[in-house]
A = this chain, B = another copy of it.
Amino acid sequence: MRELSGDLRHLSINSATARNQLTLPAFIEACARRGIPAIDPWRDQVHAVGLTQVARHVKDAGLALTGYCRGGFFPAVDAAGLRAALEDNRRAVDEAKALGASCLVLVAGALPGALCGTPAHRNIGLARTQVMDGIAATLDYARSLSVPLAIEPLHPMQAADRACINTLEQALDICDALDPSRSGALGVALDVYHTWWDPKLTAQIARAGRERLLAYHVCDWLVPTRDLVNDRGMMGDGIIELKKIRSLLERAGYAGYVEVEIFSQAWWTRPADELLDTCVARYQTVV
């Protein structure tokens, strides 16, 4: 297992972690200043600044991109909606390519309208079929640009509104169906927050292997958890066996970055320096 305490060479931080405190340019500067070698920017934050400027800034700062968040949200109520989702995913692939991101992270989507509180229907099976079709259609384009697609299974508590892909096994079944040769064009983004509870986690990480493990996200699960979306914990403050899960990934061949992604109303109200310094300190001790 890799030793993380000595330096920051395997650390990445997701821009959403400090989205309330720092604009993307300020976030890039803050990371570069600390010697953090990689980030994962969110799409809305990139758009707010401009793709070309962000791409240049990231390059000038010498940062790697451990992903681009996010594509996905494939399900829709009609053909026009499905088509619009595919077009949007193509643009996301283009942007990931322009930024030099190592993959495009896919949050599948779920029941259309549910994220706004007005689900158009309750047929999760249909949503899952549309996700499969959407990934298949996007994969051809992404492959042509050499942008790997990373399906992120989301916690089952987000199955209605954010992603109907909810276990690593389910994500890997899609990978096997659409990329049976394990080409590296399709894999998963494994986030401990979404998957730590899974009784099949050990076996499915081994099944995934190096070719399918495209990104690794960490935070922690608080006890109690008070919100289904924005109450993630800082690594070490919760009950996830972080070192154990990382050891499973590394045993399966994962040699990539460890990306910190924390959605937390509590941390979003703390000073950016305290937040980022804590991410670094915890990365070196408990991850």
Contact = CB atoms under 8 A, between A and B. Distances in A.
Interface of A is mostly: loop
A128 B228 contact: no
A117 B199 CA distance: 22
Interface stretch (A9-17, A98-106, A151-159): A151-159
Interface stretch (A42-50, A51-59, A217-225, A259-267): A217-225
A191 to B, nearest CB: 13
A41 to B, nearest CB: 26
Contacts of A161: 223-224
A194 to B, nearest CB: 9
Contacts of A136: none
A143 B155 CA distance: 36
Given A122-B241, A224-B228, A157 B157 contact: yes
A198 interface: yes
Q: How many copies does the complex hold?
A: 2
A138 interface: no
Contacts of A128: 199
A30 interface: no
A66 interface: no
A239 B122 contact: yes
A159 B197 contact: yes
Contact of A225 (B221, B224, B228): B228
Interface residues of A, number: 31
A239 B122 CA distance: 5
A124 interface: yes
A157 B156 contact: yes
Contacts of A167: 199
Nearest to A118: B223
A195 to B, nearest CB: 9
A114 B239 CA distance: 9
Interface in A57-81: none
A117 B156 contact: no
Interface in A92-124: 111, 114, 117, 119, 122-124
A89 interface: no
Nearest to A157: B157
Given A114-B223, A122-B241, A160-B221, 16 more contacts: A119-B223, A122-B239, A124-B196, A124-B197, A155-B157, A156-B156, A156-B197, A159-B196, A160-B197, A164-B197, A166-B198, A166-B199, A170-B199, A224-B228, A226-B228, A228-B228
6 contacts: A117-B224, A122-B240, A124-B239, A156-B156, A160-B221, A161-B223
Q: Top 6 A-B pairs ranked by shortest CB distance? A: A159-B197, A157-B157, A156-B197, A122-B239, A170-B199, A156-B156
